[in-house]
Amino acid sequence: MSPSRILVLNSGSSSVKYQLIDMADRSRLAAGLAERIGEETSTVTHQPLAAGGERRTRTGRLADHGAALGAVAEELAADGLGLDSPELAAIGHRVVHGGLRLTEPTVVDDAVLEEIERLVPVAPLHNPANLTGIRTAQRLRPDLPQVAVFDTAFHSTMPEHAARYAIDTETADAHRVRRYGFHGTSHAYVSRKAAELLGKDPGEVNLIVLHLGNGASASAVRGGRCEDTSMGLTPLEGLVMGTRSGDIDPAVVFHLKRVAGMDADAVDELLNKRSGLLGLCGDNDMREIRRRIDAGDRAAALAFDIYIHRLKKYIGAYYAVLGRVDAVVFTAGVGENAAPVREAAVAGLAELGLAVDGELNTAAGREARLISPGYARVAVAVVPTDEELEIAEQTYALVAPSRAAPTPGGAAPESFST
Ligand code: ADP
């Protein structure tokens, strides 16, 4: 049997999320999370999935990503799934920024590492952690293909008129200032699944995909290709998010510098970490915000209204960009779970053919499903995202092209979702 297992690694600045997937039948063998890397007490939470084993948590200091991956390797080995297994075909890495050159899943070599490094100035929080993850995995299994799958890749089809900011071209080009978009792996996966749900070929459908997690982004997808997306040079642009402001008049930055003496780092921190829902009402978890609204809290209600107003503006904008829309698709933590968000986002848009059915919208479910009434001209759908499976698919297609075939995958494990 040729090797068919893919280890998917998503390395953040202080965490590594992982899943081991057998591409022979798309089954999950294990999933887990190493977190608080570099702090006094780090933890590894490991869930064996193949034999239905118990979840295990180990604590202790993990000084760096090398130590964290070492601990992950030990957990996998304890289940007989060690990294030395001949059944492991490749390691697939989520890499946030691939820039203009890295627009396809790529087997990592020195030139690829250099390019990811060159992009650090436009992804200072993410690319360094992704690089560390790849380098550590290379040390653990130097003989194995390491594949980088880029968050920006799906958006590389954006036409220039959507990708360029209206600023001086020379300055923009000199510093690579343009719109790249993020969450691409999720938008790609969800677009394909939504087409499947509609019983159509992805090439035939136009979609507005709303990835609403802690980070949030919208995209306009025509015939399986991204035509516009709400995140830009960085993941700060666009929708109101858990802690990020999304769209804002850039003059706010100069204003705060002049009147409050805030330098670039201070404003960066404000807009990325102390804004969005958190900045507006003190909570960034939509569950808590809904609880507070139900208890009559006005700050939470206003934060919700601001969140929905922005979402609606993007739905309208992308409707206009696409001209014809087959479905509006909700995904990620908020999109998959928060019925009130879905209801409010399309409320009043009947003239555009958009509506949700109250019962379908509030019915529990983890499957891809339609929540619009039968009469609606435009479908509204909930499609759970699965970035790990998508990374594994793309990695496997690259290392075992003759055997990779898009077959329906099993459901993602409930924990460790994106
Ligand atoms: P990310 O991967 O960006 O960290 P997720 O896609 O996992 O985020 O989404 C996390 C967010 O989803 C939480 O912050 C919370 O606001 C929201 N969420 C999760 N479950 C629910 C729920 N049942 N109802 C409403 N919101 C939820």
Q: Which domains does the chain have, with CATH numbers?
A: 5-177+388-399 (3.30.420.40), 200-385 (3.30.420.40)
Give pLDDT, residue 365. 87
Query: Can 151 be counted among the known catalytic residues?
Result: yes
What pLDDT does residue 404 have?
56
**pLDDT given at position 332:** 96
Which residue owns the Cα nearest ligand 1 atom 8?
A: 213
Strands 206-212 and 146-150: unpaired
* Cα-Cα-Cα-Cα dihedral sign, residues 374, 380, 382, 383: positive
Q: Which residue puts its alpha carbon closest to atom 19 of ligand 1?
A: 333
Q: Is residue 202 within 6 Å of ligand 1 at its C-beta?
A: no
Cα 170-171-176 angle, rounded to 5 deg: 100
Measured in whole angstroms, how far is the alpha carbon of residue 226 from the centre of its chain? 15
CA of 338 to the centre of ligand 1 (A): 9
Q: Please indicate whether residue 99, judged by its CB atom, sits closer than 6 Å to ligand 1.
A: no
403/400 Cα distance (integer angstroms): 6
pLDDT at residue 355, rounded to an integer: 97
How many angstroms separate the Cα of 53 from the Cα of each of 31, 49, 50, 97? 12, 6, 8, 36
Q: Distance from the CA of 238 to the center of ligand 1, in angstroms? A: 18
Nearest to 399 by CA among 191, 224, 148: 148
166 phi-psi bin (left φ>0, alpha ψ -120 to 50, beta other): beta
Query: How remote is the CA of residue 237 from the centroid of ligand 1, in Å?
Result: 19
pLDDT at 409: 41
Q: What is the pLDDT of residue 416?
A: 33
pLDDT confidence of residue 322? 98
CA of 277 to the centre of ligand 1 (A): 12
CB of 243 within 6 A of ligand 1: the answer is no
Q: Global pTM?
A: 0.92
pLDDT of residue 384: 97
Cα–Cα distance for residue pair 390/154, rounded to 1 Å: 12
Q: Which two tokens stand for residue 357?
A: 């059915």
Of 285, 307, 382, 418, the residue with max ligand 1 atoms within 8 A of its CB, to mutate for a pocket test, comes to: 285
Among residues 22, 151, 297, 326, which one is catalytic? Answer: 151
- Looking at ligand 1, which atom is closest to the CA of residue 287? 25
Find the length of the chain.
418
Query: What gap in Å lies between CA 107 and CA 122, rounded to an integer?
Result: 22
Annotated binding site for substrate: 94
Nearest protein CA to atom 27 of ligand 1, as residue = 334
Tell me, in angstroms, the distance from the centre of ligand 1 to residue 54's CA.
Answer: 24
Sequential pLDDT tens for the chain (418 residues): 689 999 999 988 788 999 999 999 999 999 999 999 988 899 999 999 987 788 999 999 999 888 999 999 999 999 889 898 999 999 999 999 999 999 999 999 999 999 999 999 888 878 999 999 999 999 989 999 999 999 999 999 999 999 999 999 999 999 999 999 999 999 999 999 999 999 999 999 999 999 999 999 999 999 999 999 999 999 999 999 999 999 999 999 999 999 999 999 999 999 999 999 999 999 999 999 999 999 999 999 999 999 999 999 999 999 999 999 999 999 999 999 999 999 999 999 999 999 999 999 999 889 999 999 999 999 999 999 999 999 999 999 999 876 655 444 444 443 332 2
